Amino acid sequence: MAGYILEITYIISVLLFMMGLKKLGHPQTAQKGNMQAAIGMGLAIVATLAFYTNSEGEGLGNFAWIAGGILIGTVVGWLSAKKIAMTEMPQMVSLFNGMGGACSALIGLLEFGPAIDSDVLIFAVVLGSLVVGTITFSGSMIAFAKLNGNLNKDIRLPYYNILNTIFMITIAGLVACLLLHNITDAVTWIYILFAISFVYGILFVIPIGGADMPVVISLLNSLSGIAAALAGFIYGNQVMIIGGILVGASGTILTIAMCEGMNRTLVSVVFGAFGAGGSTAVAEGDGSQGVVKETSASDTAVMMNYSKSVVMVPGYGLAVAQAQHIMSELQQLLEANGVDVKYAIHPVAGRMPGHMNVLLAEANVDYDLLVEMDDINPKFPTTDVVLIVGANDVVNPAANTDPSSPIYGMPILEVSQAAKIIIVKRSMATGYAGIQNELFFDDKTSMLFGDAKKVITDLVAEIKAM
């Protein structure tokens, strides 16, 4: 009877996972979807503790240790999620990916002993869980360090692609030898496999530049799902298998979408180290690329307030300044004065997929005002003013005009077609791709220098005073 209850509960949990995943595709239902998926996982955990029995009819033991782990994990996860700043959300996603990979790697390390002499398929799954989980863990920790600013220096080893390929071939060859039992002292070699996989995870992520981080996070998310599914196969746990497959599949689809949004292949992201250039600044009007025009909050407020249409382009700088709420207030003021306002969303703006959508949803911006790149681009020729706040590479015309540029061919927001362009930035520093933005020197562009939150607050005050 207990087995039937467990299976039925697992089915309910999987249905909740699928319903939650579907709702995560829209910001208006994402919170409810996240809650449904969490309830599904909670049901699966409780049912496993209460009703699981092995082939000998024995249930789980060590409930005190299990309860302690659940309690610690719940407290840490709850406090982290409550206190995390929006600018640090990509780091948290990377950390969660890494923890999922670490769990799968530990399962592989714990279960390889009994699996050595068992069915070759089971042994293959154990090794897969160990390898994929380890790569996900070490790679995610490097991604976390890069996003968190702990690893600012660009690192690119000589003959990096050759070195990476050697590691990949070594891992594949060692797994094949272990499966064919062509290695004596297999236990030692499994630990060597773990070490090589750990190093490969580091080498895999460490040279990848910041502009590719949304793709890397999506890829690591996919790998964490695959690792969880493999761990599920080890224990014959349907929830782990299906949950891992859902995460792996959705992560893969998102990774492909991110690559398409940058007009890049996954191979070029993994092996190209795109965006690894440093940040440089160009002084105003130094003549290197043209003359930079500066404007004031007062002039910008007048221009926006008496326009028919305004498009706001949010970027990572908006998240850094925590200016999403005041930007929403600016939008509401302009709408109250009869201005049509929209937000232009580039698929790779920010540091993780959907970063800008999440940021603006936090400020209760109506989702209907968020317009994706393909839909907003045809509207720029009839737009009076574009206000760019913290975005850089995703509006850089070099993607269309400069074949030598590392972002050449990447689809961008065609803001240069608007009548007037205002760019809010602290300085003339380059974006995450490490290249100068040609838009700064466009005749229709004016720079509004300063912290995004202060600048937009000044704009709000100016409009209120009119």
Rounded CA separation 25/33 (Å): 9
DSSP collapsed to 3 states, 206-264: CCCCHHHHHHHHHHHHHHHHHHHHHHHHHHCCHHHHHHHHHHHHHHHHHHHHHHHHHCC
Helix axes 89-116, 186-205, angle to 10 degrees: 160
Q: How far is CA 318 from CA 230, 322, 410, in A?
A: 39, 6, 22
Residues 6 or more apart whose CB falls under 8 angstroms from that of 435 comprise 277, 393, 396, 398, 405, 406, 407
Dihedral sign (CA 356, 95, 77, 51)? positive
Catalytic residue IDs: 393
CB 351 within 8 A of CB 147: yes
Beta strands 385-389 and 309-314 are: parallel
| Dihedral (CA of 28, 34, 35, 37) sign | positive
CB of 444 closer than 8 Å to CB of 419: yes
3-state helix vs strand vs coil in the chain, percent to 5: 65, 5, 30
- Report the C-alpha gap between 226 and 233 in whole angstroms: 11
Token pair for 295: 């404007």
CA distances from 393 to 10, 35, 267, 271, 452 (A): 45, 35, 21, 20, 17
What is the token pair recorded at 262?
């940058």
Q: What is the torsional sign of CA 349, 353, 355, 356?
A: positive
CA-wise closest residue to 307 among 370, 414, 383 = 383
CA-CA-CA-CA dihedral for 254, 260, 261, 267, to nearest 10: 80
